[in-house]
Chain A
Amino acid sequence: MKILVCLSHVPDTTTRVKFADQNTKLDSTGIQWVINPWDELSLTRALELKDDPSCGIDKVTVAHVGLAATEPTIRKALAIGADDAIRINAAPADAYYVAAQLATVIKNDPYDIILCGIESSDYNGSAVGGMLAEFLNLPSISSVSSVAIQNGKVIVNREIDGGKEVVVAPGPFIAIVQKGIAREPRIAAMRGIMMARTKPLKVVEPIDCEPLTEWLSYDLPKPRAACKFVDPENPGQLIGLLQNEAKII
């Protein structure tokens, strides 16, 4: 079986974002770019499955839609342990565009399990996985918190509000993953970093596709009013404030 992990390349999650050109685009000065946290966990889980011979995983590939500047992020995934990588050489205009590009690559070279993150920590779209599934007419299971393979059957846990479901995924499918899929992201070892330089990274040119959305401008959250402090010797006052001032309890 072959696994594909779709990667998004995002600012480090502690970044204080700023915008340039009259707030119409992200100011990327000083930003540290990382693999989207969910994708890093998906990759970790894919490699854990591959490490277990009983799962029968032959190959773990990563795919990313991005310009050449994103290659260090892809190399990082190879260093962590992916076997090979595909970069579709285009700026990711919107989720629809990204999913259309990934779908074309996958149609030409299908995978048994495709893992996408529940969202990308930059534009918070929660969209690529589901759109990709629809483009490929494949089943998709969302909010997946575990993927296991037992006797050749792929079994996933899906979070539902207030509980979970155990689902058997048939044939090729897309798992849209969230917390729980792996405990800690796997870290690249020195040997992995050396090997990553020579692992195959295929660059594919994009197909024509019209994005359906356009990002016009950004704004920062309004600063919250200064915090009102309650005397720690008399914390009961807080309850009065919540009742009479905020009127929320």
Chain B
Amino acid sequence: MSVLIFIENWDGKFKKISFELASYGSKVAEMLRTDPVALTIGNVAPGEVDRIGKYGIGRVINIQNNAIHSFDSQLYSFLIDHVARKEKATVVLFSNNNTGKSLAPRVSVRLHAGLGAGVNQLPSGLEPFIVHKKVFSGNAFAQVMIKSPVKVLTLAQNSFDLIENPKEVVMESLPMPAFEQGIKTEVLETQKQTGKILLTDAEIVISGGRGMKSSANWGPLVELADLLGAATACSRPVSDEGWRPHEEHTGQTGKIIAPNLYIAVGISGATQHLAGVSSSKYIVAINTDKDAPIFSAAQYGIIGDAGKILPKLVEEVRQVKGK
């Protein structure tokens, strides 16, 4: 038996989202009185595996081969399936991000394993196996029983705290099993945003809505974000208007994020917007309308004009940070 943890490889490096998963996976293994084992595919930079070991993982399996030249969901699920069987995994874990969402369902069919998608805490029972997850885009939660002997779970981002439990890590390379059908998709081009903090990785996010009035007013919002090391986001009408790029659109039909702090400026707080941000640990709202629904989701609020308030916040943060 084992708990298999799929650790996403970002050009040889691992990210916080994988450390959350490692922490979660070692706890699940402890509950099941078995061992966690991580799987990562592709080249791993020196020292990276030790960062996984910090969160309770003693064994990392690595598969690398020239045949794995692009992210193909069929190939990756084939490899994960192969390792899950070899390791007799009873639980297979993914992060609930783009990659996890594309692999977990495929792996679940291959292993005839029930899928718990977007779980946000440790299983509340083992026999039967019960997980807790968000439903109706955050308007409710559900307890879901997984009935199959093997379970596949994806862990919601920022829902599980890092737990340090350093282990001596052994990395084993596993030869690539023959993938007869070959990769069928062909990647023509990859474009990566560089230098900016990614919205989905950010611990602090500052987001502007229609109350910002025009694209010309974003200066102080961006400045505040830079000072706080935050990413910038926006509501749907803002990206529809072209005031901000589409990658910033947050909400039910945009990005779903769970930062520690979400500052909503000139955003009314429609259910579809909140669906994308309601898992934030803290929400701050700045809005002229004291009855705006965003204030019911927020812990801190300022009733006032964003145009006047943002520059004052910038000034305050500058002073506090001594910049």
By a beta-carbon cutoff of 8 Å, the part of chain A in contact with chain B is 11, 13-17, 19, 37-38, 94-96, 99, 118-119, 121-131, 133-135, 137, 139-143, 155, 159-171, 173, 176, 178-180, 183, 211-221, 224-225, 227-230, 232, 235-236, 238-239, 241-243, 246, 248-249
Chain A residues with Cβ below 8 Å from B127 are: none
A242 touches which one: B99, B147, B200, B300 (CB < 8 A)? B300
Q: Which applies to chain B's interface (DSSP): helix, strand, loop or mixed?
A: mixed
Contacts A179-B249, A220-B140, A248-B261 given: A95-B282 contact, CB under 8 Å? no
Report how far A64 CA is from B105 CA in the complex, Å: 19
Chain A residues with Cβ below 8 Å from B228 are: 249
A164 touches B191 (CB 8 A): yes
Q: Which has the most chain A C-beta neighbours within 10 Å: B10, B181, B193, B282?
A: B282
Give the 8 A-B residue pairs with the shortest CB-CB distance, closest first.
A130-B105, A212-B114, A142-B102, A232-B304, A236-B316, A163-B192, A134-B109, A127-B105
Report how far A37 CA is from B140 CA in the complex, Å: 19
Q: Which has the most chain B C-beta neighbours within 10 Å: A159, A168, A211, A230?
A: A230
A121 touches B136 (CB 8 A): yes
B141 touches A219 (CB 8 A): yes
Quick check: is B6 within 8 A (CB to CB) of the other chain? no
Residue of A nearest to B108 (CB): A131
Known: A180-B246, A248-B261. 8 other contacts (CB 8 A): A96-B109, A121-B252, A131-B109, A131-B115, A167-B187, A178-B253, A212-B114, A215-B143
Chain A residues with Cβ below 8 Å from B308 are: 232
Chain B residues with Cβ below 8 Å from A143 are: 98, 101-102
A161 touches B138 (CB 8 A): no
- Chain A binder among B29-37, B44-52, B55-63, B69-77: B69-77
Chain A residues with Cβ below 8 Å from B102 are: 130, 140-143, 176
Quick check: is B317 within 8 A (CB to CB) of the other chain? yes
Instruction: Give A135 Cβ to nearest chain B Cβ, in Å.
Output: 6
A123 touches B142 (CB 8 A): yes
Chain A residues with Cβ below 8 Å from B204 are: 248-249
Instruction: Give B322 Cβ to nearest chain A Cβ, in Å.
Output: 13
Report how far A135 CA is from B77 CA in the complex, Å: 13
A-B contact pairs, 18 of them (CB 8 A): A13-B272, A37-B252, A99-B105, A124-B117, A137-B74, A161-B10, A161-B98, A212-B108, A212-B113, A212-B114, A224-B283, A230-B301, A232-B309, A236-B312, A236-B313, A239-B316, A246-B282, A248-B261
Chain A residues with Cβ below 8 Å from B79 are: none
Contacts A212-B113, A213-B145 given: A238-B105 contact, CB under 8 Å? no
B148 touches A212 (CB 8 A): yes
Report how far A133 CA is from B108 CA in the complex, Å: 12
A225 touches B192 (CB 8 A): no
Instruction: Give A154 Cβ to nearest chain B Cβ, in Å.
Output: 10
Instruction: Give A144 Cβ to nearest chain B Cβ, in Å.
Output: 10
Chain B residues with Cβ below 8 Å from A180 are: 246
Report how far A133 CA is from B98 CA in the complex, Å: 16
Q: Which has the most chain A C-beta neighbours within 10 Å: B112, B139, B187, B315?
A: B139
Residue of A nearest to B114 (CB): A212
A218 touches which one: B135, B181, B270 (CB < 8 A)? B135
> Binary interface profile of B, 108-138, with partner A (CB < 8 Å = 1, else 0)?
1110111111100000000000100111111
Instruction: Give A6 Cβ to nearest chain B Cβ, in Å.
Output: 13
Report how far A123 CA is from B103 CA in the complex, Å: 18
Report how far A144 CA is from B184 CA in the complex, Å: 17
Report how far A143 CA is from B154 CA in the complex, Å: 16
Instruction: Give A162 Cβ to nearest chain B Cβ, in Å.
Output: 5
Contacts A134-B110, A212-B113 given: A227-B135 contact, CB under 8 Å? no
Chain B contacts with A in 287-323, Cβ cutoff 8 A: 295-304, 308-309, 312-313, 315-317, 320
A248 touches B138 (CB 8 A): no
A179 touches B246 (CB 8 A): yes
Report how far A240 CA is from B299 CA in the complex, Å: 14
B73 touches A155 (CB 8 A): no
A238 touches B302 (CB 8 A): yes
A155 touches B188 (CB 8 A): yes
A139 touches which one: B73, B116, B278 (CB < 8 A)? B73
Instruction: Give A104 Cβ to nearest chain B Cβ, in Å.
Output: 14
Contacts A17-B136, A134-B77, A249-B204 given: A224-B297 contact, CB under 8 Å? yes
Report how far A160 CA is from B103 CA in the complex, Å: 14
Residue of A nearest to B279 (CB): A221
Instruction: Give B280 Cβ to nearest chain A Cβ, in Å.
Output: 10
Instruction: Give A129 Cβ to nearest chain B Cβ, in Å.
Output: 7
